[in-house]
Structure 1
Amino acid sequence: MGEPGVERIRNFRLHAHHLDARYDEADVLAVVGACGMQNTPPGAWKAALHNRVPALGAEDLERLLHEKRSLIQAWSFRGAPVVFPAADSDAFLTALVPQKDEPWIYTQGIGLALDALGMEFHEVLALLERVMPKLDDKVVVSKTALDQTLADWVEPLLPAGKREPWRAPSMYGSPDKQTVGGAAVSFLLRPCALKGLVVFGERSGASPAFTSFRAWLGRGLEPSKDAPKKLVRKFLHCYGPSTADRFASWLGCSGKQARRLWKTVVDEMEPLTCDGKRAYVLAADRERLFAPEPLERELLLLSAHDPYLDQRDRAVLQADKTLQRRIWRTVANPGAVVRRGEVVGTWTGKKKGTGLEVEASLWAGDVDVRELRDLAKDYAAFRGLELVGFKA
């Protein structure tokens, strides 16, 4: 069988990301659990889920996360806050715990703090793990408060000669708000999250809140030997055909860790050729990949950081590298106008009082602007706003 071609890949990935049709509330766990939903900036996961299950309002989503707790938010791949089904916690957390000499995700910057303390990574992490169970009975509001609260809990466990440098002002840019100990804790919260020791709780106004996995769900995190397989399957189903290197990029982990995880499902993969290079797809997905189905929805208004836009092979979404730089910026990515899987423009929204102004920049001249405006109107309503301006 020949190359699938970019249009088949787009069709396959739209289906895997539940963007080919409008899904129902009964599908929520499958939709969110496909590959998790990043929640930076705050609210990104809600916009992503709205695009897949538009019948649910923002309050419905809050209920799923904070009341039913069938969903959970924790630091996961790339060290980012991610919302995923509580039942998939092993895949999004414990599967990412490194082995042997593999580095932890999102901890590279801790070196300055460790040098100032004269301590090793594993020493500080072990001390932090000893105090983390105190979160079983506590909710801490704001990330700054969490860092310093945990640092204060750790301090009595330090050798006497380490306590003064632990309390010294941080070297990471906020010496008036953070200590060296608080900075070290900040980096080590990712390993703690992957071990099920800290999760996000219900926000308090504009501030995030934090507690333990046990306090949130009433049980501890239970590792599973199949967790690595589950994680790789999720990636390949949503982003296949792909490679181990792209998997490493998506996770934000070392190549060594990614290759170890990748090998757990190698007997479930099949090779094929994409753009002249070898890539892999789950054997169970190959038939669907080569047999695209009609899309019930061809035009989408995706918010920045939607999981569909997280594809590592960006040329699938937009072949023009100049336009790619307008989609994926260093900071403040815009939303994307997607037609049949291809990004054909960007958009931004600006809140004005109780209204929302949306401006789109289109690169294709045959986009249905009226349909695009309707999508913007729906998005504004989802946010409890009125569309007061639209330009494309």
Structure 2
Amino acid sequence: MDLTRQQVLLHRIHQHELDRRTSDATELAVFSLGVQDNTAGAAVLSLAARLKAPSTEDFTHTWSVRGAPHLHRAGELKAFSRALWPWSDADARARAARPKVDDMLAALRHIATAMRSIVTKPMTKGDLSKALTPLAPQQTVEPCRGCGTDHVSDPIFRLGALPAGLRIIPEEKTVTFERIHGWPGVPRITAGFDELIHRYLTLHGPAGPSEVASYFGTTVRELKKRWPKEGLVEVTVDGVAAWLPEDVEIVDAEPPDVRLLPPTDPYLQARDRDLLLPDKAAQKDIFRILGRRGAILVDGEIAGSWQGKVVSGKRYEVTATPYRPLPDLLPETELLAQAKGLDDASVKSN
């Protein structure tokens, strides 16, 4: 099967449920990998693009994929922790961004075990880091220019949170952890990573090992060691080889007129950015290292970027940067305002 770029985009829009709005948040397909969040509460904006009445109340907030903050279904966290646990030292070094550290897997297990033992009551990230550093293997500690002290490397600290069975309390302004009750302990081995590959390819496929490796923060070489030997079918996208789960059918969706996707939206997490957005200048605008922009999805294509802010404590204002003429964005902006509990909305253009 040879698919075109347009066929792939319309299929993904359907898989991400952007071609319709549903009622049940817990059934959303994007929660198969979690919905990335940030301190500004971006996850609820992702839900607003898919739900009639978005809410994050039924989900658990923790650091998971790539150590980034995500919302997950609470009942899936134990299995998710086992599936995300590194399968080798090389995999652990890649995820922790510590390429020269020996026995990184043992160090990560030590860190996660210590984090679990320390957090016996709600504890801020700063207090946990301060208590953890004296207990950590020296190879995981590094000087921090920002706070002027030595502490456990931030990527390692983040990777330790989920296997330690820690959740983030969403009501707290400062990142504050508490224990997830009934936690079985730090995983001993990886179990279920094949299923995560299947889930990635279901949402973001067709794709290949390089995209999946990038998403999970490992190397292509390590990822290929875990690539499923069955359950996938090979296709081509404009002549380039890619893979889909064999139980997933390509759907020719009817794209939505417009959706405002926040910078961390699951749809934008696909690693084949040249397919999502071929224009290099537009890529540079959307996928910034700092100050990333949201994407304006119009008729199945990213037609501009946007930024949002709360004005006077009651109005949500979207500033749009169009790549081509845009439709009226106010109705979608009003939905985002409602999701954030605000009464008013406005739109302006750069």
TM-score normalised by L of structure 1: 0.78
Q: Which SS does the other structure have where 2:297 is aligned?
A: strand
Match of 2:146 in 1: 174
Task: Name the SS for the 2:50 alignment partner.
Answer: coil
- What is the rounded CA distance, in whole Å, between the counterparts of 2:132 and 2:191 in structure 1? 32
Matched positions, count? 344
> Structure 1's 123 and 319: CA in aligned 2 closer, same or farther, altered over 3 A?
closer
Distance 2:132 2:114 in 1: 7
Equivalent pair of 1:200/1:208 in contact (CA under 8 Å): no
Q: Aligned with 2:289: secondary structure?
A: coil
Partner of 1:93: 81
Contact 1:349 1:358 in 2 (8 A): yes
Q: Does 1:193 align with 2:161?
A: yes
| d(CA) in 2 for partners of 1:14, 1:91 | 27
- In terms of mean alpha carbon deviation, does 223-232 or 331-340 score higher? 223-232
Change (3 A) 1:205 1:136: closer
| Of 150, 153, 174, the match for 2:132 | 150
- The alignment status of 1:303 with 2:268, answered yes or no, reads no
Q: Distance in 1 between matches of 2:190 and 2:103?
A: 29
Which amino acid is 2:182 matched to? Answer: G
SS at match of 1:267: coil
1:221-268 CA-partner distances (Å, limit 9, x unpaired):
6969761122011100011110001100111112233212322xx311
For structure 1, list consecutive stretches of 5 or more residues without a partner in the other structure. Answer: 65-70
- State the Cα distance separating 1:110 from its structure 2 match: 9.0
Deviation of the 1:20 alpha carbon:
1.4
Residue 318 to residue 133, structure 1, CA distance change in 2 (3 Å)? closer
Shift of 1:24: 0.9
Contact in 2 for aligned 1:135/1:211 (Cα 8 Å): no
Compared CA separation, residues 204 and 293, structure 1 to 2 (3 A): closer
Q: Which residue of 2 aligns with 1:128?
A: 111
Distance 1:123 1:15 in 2: 41
> C-alpha displacement at 1:363, in angstroms?
1.9
- How far apart are the structure 1 equivalents of 2:103 and 2:243? 39
- Partner in structure 1 of residue 184 of structure 2: 220
- AA partner of residue 297 (structure 2): V
Q: Is the 8 A contact 1:303 1:336 kept in 2?
A: yes
State the AA in 1 paired with 2:204: Y
The amino acid that maps onto 2:347 is F
CA shift for structure 1 position 88? 2.7
Task: Determine if contact 1:301/1:337 at 8 Å carries over to the other structure.
Answer: yes
The structural deviation recorded for 1:139 is: 1.5
* Structure 1 counterpart of 2:301: 342
Which amino acid in structure 2 is aligned with residue 250 of structure 1?
Answer: Y
- The structure 2 residue matched to 1:108, chosen from 90, 94, 97, is 97
Q: What is the aligned counterpart of 2:178 among 174, 197, 211?
A: 211
Per-residue deviation, 1:101: 3.2
User: What's the counterpart of residue 67 of structure 1?
Assistant: none
Q: 2:278 aligns with which of 312, 319, 322?
A: 319
User: For residues 201 and 277 of structure 1, what CA distance do their matches in structure 2 show?
Assistant: 41
Partner of 1:22, secondary structure, is coil
> Partners of 1:268 and 1:376 in 2: how far apart?
41
1:283 aligned to 2:246?
A: yes
- Normalised to the residue count of structure 2, the TM-score between the two structures is 0.87
Q: Equivalents in 2 of 1:122, 1:378: separation in Å?
A: 44
% identity of equivalent residues: 24
Over 3 Å counting, the alpha-carbon distance change for 1:337 and 1:171 in structure 2 is same
Deviation at 1:201, TM superposition (A): 2.8
Name the SS for the 2:86 alignment partner. coil
Query: Retained in 2: the 8 A contact 1:272–1:281?
Result: yes
Structure 2 runs not aligned, ≥5 long: none
As a proportion of its length, which structure holds more strand?
A: 2
- Counterpart of 1:203, as a letter, is P
Q: Is the 8 A contact 1:327 1:336 kept in 2?
A: yes
Q: Does residue 1:72 correspond to 2:60, yes or no?
A: yes
CA RMSD of aligned residues (A): 2.8
Distance 1:51 1:84 in 2: 17
Equivalent position amino acid for 2:320 in 1: A
Give the structure 2 partner of residue 375 of structure 1: 332
Any idea what SS the aligned residue of 1:84 has?
A: strand
More helix by share: 1
Structure 2: distance between partners of 1:207 and 1:389 = 29
CA contact (8 A) 1:40 1:81 kept: yes
Shift of 1:39: 1.5
Contact 2:201–2:245 under 8 Å retained in 1? yes
Rg comparison, structure with higher value:
1
Q: Structure 1: which amino acid aligns with 2:80?
A: F
C-alpha change, 1:339 and 1:34, in structure 2 (3 Å) is farther
Q: CA, structure 1 residues 200+373, in 2 after alignment: closer, same or farther (shift >3 Å)?
A: same
In the alignment, which of 209, 222, 233 is matched to residue 198 of structure 2?
Answer: 233
Tell me the alpha carbon deviations over residues 158-186 of structure 1, each in whole angstroms, 9 at most, x when there is no partner: 8xxx8xxx8xxx6221354x3x2x234x4
* Cα separation, 1, equivalents of 2:192 and 2:109: 24
1:44 corresponds, among 32, 37, 42, to: 42
Partners of 2:4 and 2:285 lie apart in 1 by: 24
What SS is found at the alignment partner of 1:12? helix
Give yes or no for contact 1:11–1:340 (8 Å, CA) kept in 2: no
Instruction: Tell me the CA shift for residue 276 of structure 1.
Output: 1.9
Indicate how the Cα distance of structure 1 residues 100 and 121 shifts in structure 2: closer, same or farther if over 3 A, else same.
Answer: closer
- Choose which of 121, 124, 129 in structure 2 pairs with 1:138: 121
